[in-house]
Amino acid sequence: MTLIIVLIVIAVLAVLLMGIYNRLVALRQNTNQAFADIDVQLKQRHDLIRTWSRP
């Protein structure tokens, strides 16, 4: 009986750890995407400024 309880606790902990890991990976991906979006906007702004400054 004790072995079953220990196995259930280990399984629950494993599921929780996998969920936490997946959430951290998703947050990292969202952060990388946000920085990529900012980079694109800055490049577009740079291109606009360069075209406006030409005589």
Tens of pLDDT along 30-41? 999 999 999 999
User: Does the pLDDT value for residue 15 go beyond 80?
Assistant: yes
User: Does the pLDDT value for residue 54 go beyond 80?
Assistant: no
Burial 15-47 (b: 16+ CB within 10 A, else e): eeeeeeeeeeeeeeeeeeeeeeeeeeeeeeeee
